[in-house]
Amino acid sequence: MNTSSSEPKVREACGIVGIAHSSDDVALPLYYALYALQHRGQESAGIAVFRGMSTDENPDERDAQAKEIRSEKGMGLVAEVFSPQHLAELQGSMGIGHVRYPTTGAPLLENAEPLVVNYQKGEFALAHNGNLVNTRELRAELEREGRIFHSETDTEVIAQLLARELVEHDPIAALTEVMRRVVGSYSLAILMDSMLLAVRDPFGIKPLCIGALTDERRSMNVGYVIASESPAIDTLGGTLIRDVNPGEMLVIHASHPARARNPADHRDLKLIRHQLHPGVPSAHCVFEYIYFARPDSIIDGQLVYDVRMKIGERLAVEHPVSADIVTPVPDSGITCAIGYAKRSGIEYLEGLIKNRYVGRTFIMPEQRARDMSVHAKFNIVRANVAGKRVVLVDDSIVRGTTMRKLVRYLRAAGAKEVHLRIGSPPIIAPCYLGIDTPTRDELIASTRTIEAIRDYLAADSLGYLSLQGLIMAVGIEANSLCLGCLTEHYPVRIPGERCSALQATLT
């Protein structure tokens, strides 16, 4: 009843951000950075800041009662969770933030992140994007030691492992040790012991990048931003430095000037990198380029908009058709359709209008209501399609149910022909590494031939982009990508699934 009729076709796990500033509070920049990452998770949002870094407090005289880390979390969109008062209370010049879709665990506030816990030496906060594949084993091991869990999340497993290592190791060594144990996709932002730490899994499956904040008047670096996607850095007026490397750990900490009470004074931020797991081939998630990431993101060196334009162009080459207009399924197919139109020379015209306010409606059980809810999401511009041969472009097909309705609506509006062009190869297998795809049963392409899919969708023709075409468009070599959902070969061992030869050597 409370599921959304307009939920995305597949859901991204999460978005993370971490900011360290030499003088200012970071709650407001964290807020806007999360805002820029909202597409990566709409279920909950959270911010945690390290209070001790504030210049007007004396870290040596910490009240035992006072918490080092303050956090605020809530269900819903970033703009709904945080009030100006919250941000004012979250004082501190180092912090992390998180937006979340549940991949494991129910949609509960107790699963919202960052997770803030007490451990032997104080507190730490943890924000995670990804999905581990050995959670069950790790959890069993921890439970055998009599540990308790308050949630079902991977994040709590990581936190417990980390706390265990912290008994004998310093933060960097402890986190290194944790990275040896966990398998799967993970980008982490951690606030601990006056430091901001960021790590990306050895395959670099989920994106993570680092940028610099600059004081323009004084031409000096005043802060660092770690984020799932680069537009979070852009939003703050910062500059993208580079992607965090697969298996890399970045550590940012501040050397306090001696008791400076002048707010103009600021700390020196030191950025230290630790490259772990060198020489492992990458396995960047190809679906970030196809669907998830914002078009204005630069991920592992590639501008997503550019990749999608090339996808559209290649699609026009691979699957040409004689038609009157090219029209996208908004918003996922827009860039792709522009590319197709450009290369094919067929006019780009919007035949479907997406309701900008669609988002969080409920699904009523009756068929009548389900029809209305799809209509409420997409409406046909009848005059643009009537009597025309239409090329309808989308980035991918998951279940096919919405696409089938769109084809029917287009025909009802008078389209003479409907040719589907899809900016990816057929999705034939589930993702185990951070994307909430349906099971094989529900994936339309897992058991059907392309002709059978075309028949089900009632399209005049159906063209999927080839795997080779996709790889060329992305511009990263195949063995540095995770193509599991398209090839059934995954970079890590997953029970019942095949593992890519190259990458499997590591796990």
Residues marked active site are found at: 14
> Counting contacts by CB under 8 A, is residue 386 touching a second copy?
no
**Distance between CA atoms of 316 and 310, rounded to whole angstroms?**
10
Closest approach, Cβ 67 to a second copy, in A, equals: 9
- For residues 22 and 500, which CB has a smaller minimum distance to a second copy in the complex? 22
Closest approach, Cβ 482 to a second copy, in A, equals: 24
Which of the residues 152 through 181 are near a second copy (CB under 8 A)? 152, 159-160, 163-167
Which of the residues 125 through 144 are near a second copy (CB under 8 A)? 140, 143-144
Q: Are 273 and 250 in contact (CB under 8 A)?
A: yes
Which of the residues 292 through 331 are near a second copy (CB under 8 A)? 294-296, 303, 305-306, 331
Q: Are 246 and 201 in contact (CB under 8 A)?
A: yes
- For residues 158 and 485, which CB has a smaller minimum distance to a second copy in the complex? 158
> Counting contacts by CB under 8 A, is residue 384 touching a second copy?
yes
Q: Which residue of 75, 376, 472, 478 would you call a contact of a second copy, by CB under 8 A?
A: 376
Closest approach, Cβ 160 to a second copy, in A, equals: 6
**Distance between CA atoms of 244 and 181, rounded to whole angstroms?**
20
| Alpha helices by DSSP H, 45-120 | 78-81, 84-89
- For residues 73 and 419, which CB has a smaller minimum distance to a second copy in the complex? 73
- Name the DSSP class of 116: E
Q: Tokens for 446, please give them.
A: 């897992």
- For residues 317 and 362, which CB has a smaller minimum distance to a second copy in the complex? 362
């918003």: which residue's tokens? 331
Beta strands in 290-366 (DSSP E): 298-299, 302-303, 325-328, 347-348, 352-354
Q: Which residue of 62, 274, 277, 360 would you call a contact of a second copy, by CB under 8 A?
A: 360
Q: Are 299 and 207 in contact (CB under 8 A)?
A: yes
Which of the residues 31 through 70 are near a second copy (CB under 8 A)? 32, 35-36, 38-39, 42
Stretch that binds a second copy, among 183-191, 260-268, 382-390, 442-450 (CB under 8 A): 382-390
Size of interface with a second copy, in residues (CB under 8 A)? 81
Whole-number CA gyration radius for the chain? 24
Closest approach, Cβ 346 to a second copy, in A, equals: 12
**Distance between CA atoms of 115 and 123, rounded to whole angstroms?**
10
Stretch that binds a second copy, among 271-279, 358-366, 458-466, 470-478 (CB under 8 A): 358-366
> Counting contacts by CB under 8 A, is residue 361 touching a second copy?
yes
Q: Which residue of 54, 75, 108, 147 would you call a contact of a second copy, by CB under 8 A?
A: 147
Which of the residues 206 through 245 are near a second copy (CB under 8 A)? 231, 234-237
At 403 the three-state DSSP class reads helix
Kind and range of the H or E element at 164?
helix 154-166
417-422 vs 461-464, strand pairing mode: parallel
| Alpha helices by DSSP H, 345-400 | 367-377, 382-385
